[in-house]
Chains A and B, each alone.
Chain A
Amino acid sequence: MSTVTATPPTTTSPASRSHRPAKRPSWLRRSWDRHWYAWAMVAPVVVVLSVLIIYPLVRGVFLSFTNLTEANQLAEICTKSITGSESCKANPEAWHMVGFDNYVDVLSGKVGQFWQWLGVTLIWTIGCVVFHYTIGLGLAVMLNRPMWGRGVYRVLLILPWAVPAFVSAFAWKFMFNEKFGLFNALLTKVGLDPVEWFSDWKTSLLTAILTNIWLGVPFMMVALLGGMQTIPTEQYEAAEIDGASPWQRFVSITLPGLRSVSMTVILLGTIWTFNMFPVIFLVTQGQPAGQTEILVTGSFRAAFEGIRNYSLASTYGVLILSILLVFSVFYRRMLRKQGEVW
Chain B
Amino acid sequence: MSETGTSTLREATIHRMPSAAVRNNRPRSKRKPLASLGLHGTLVLASLIAIFPIVWVLAASFKPKEWIQSTELTLVKEPTLANYDYVLTQTNFPSWVFNSVLVAACTMFFGILMSATAGYALSRFNFPGRRQLMLVFLVTQMFPVAILIVPIYQIMATFGLINTHASLIIAYLTIAVPFCAWMLKGYFDSIPTSLDEAASIDGCGPFMTFWKVIMPLARPGIAVTAFYTFLTAWGELAYASAFIQTDDRFTLSYGMRQFVPQFNPQWEYLTAAAVLVTVPAAVVFLYVQRHLVSGLTAGGTKG
Contacts and interface: CB of A to CB of B under 8 A. Distances in A.
A328 B142 contact: yes
Contact of A157 (B50, B193, B260): B50
Contacts of A328: 138-139, 142
B290 to A, nearest CB: 9
Interface string A200-240: 00000000000000100010001101111110010011001
A30 to B, nearest CB: 11
Contacts of B40: 147-149
In terms of DSSP, what is the predominant structure of the interface of chain A? helix
6 contacts: A6-B302, A49-B177, A56-B148, A57-B143, A157-B46, A324-B142
A275 B144 contact: yes
Residue from the set B17, B20, B26, B60 with the largest chain A CB neighbour count within 10 Å = B20
Given A16-B128, A57-B143, A179-B69, A162 B282 contact: yes
Given A49-B136, A229-B16, A303-B146, A31 B128 contact: yes
Interface stretch (A74-82, A122-130, A170-178): A170-178
A325 B257 contact: no
B56 A182 contact: yes
What size tier do the contact residues of chain B reach? 35 or more
In terms of DSSP, what is the predominant structure of the interface of chain B? helix
A292 interface: no
Given A45-B118, A214-B50, A222-B293, A15 B148 contact: no
B204 to A, nearest CB: 12
Nearest to A217: B50
Interface in B122-165: 122-131, 133-134, 136, 138-155
A330 interface: no
B172 to A, nearest CB: 10
Contacts of B95: none
B108 interface: no
Interface in A144-201: 144-168, 170-175, 177, 179-180, 182, 184-186, 188-189
Interface in B17-35: 17, 19-21, 23-24, 26-29
A307 interface: no
Closest 9 CB pairs of A and B: A317-B147, A260-B303, A226-B297, A3-B299, A2-B300, A162-B285, A56-B151, A41-B121, A164-B235
Contact of B277 (A57, A167, A304): A167
Given A35-B127, A185-B73, A246 B28 contact: yes
Contact of B183 (A1, A45, A171): A1
B29 A166 contact: no
A33 to B, nearest CB: 12
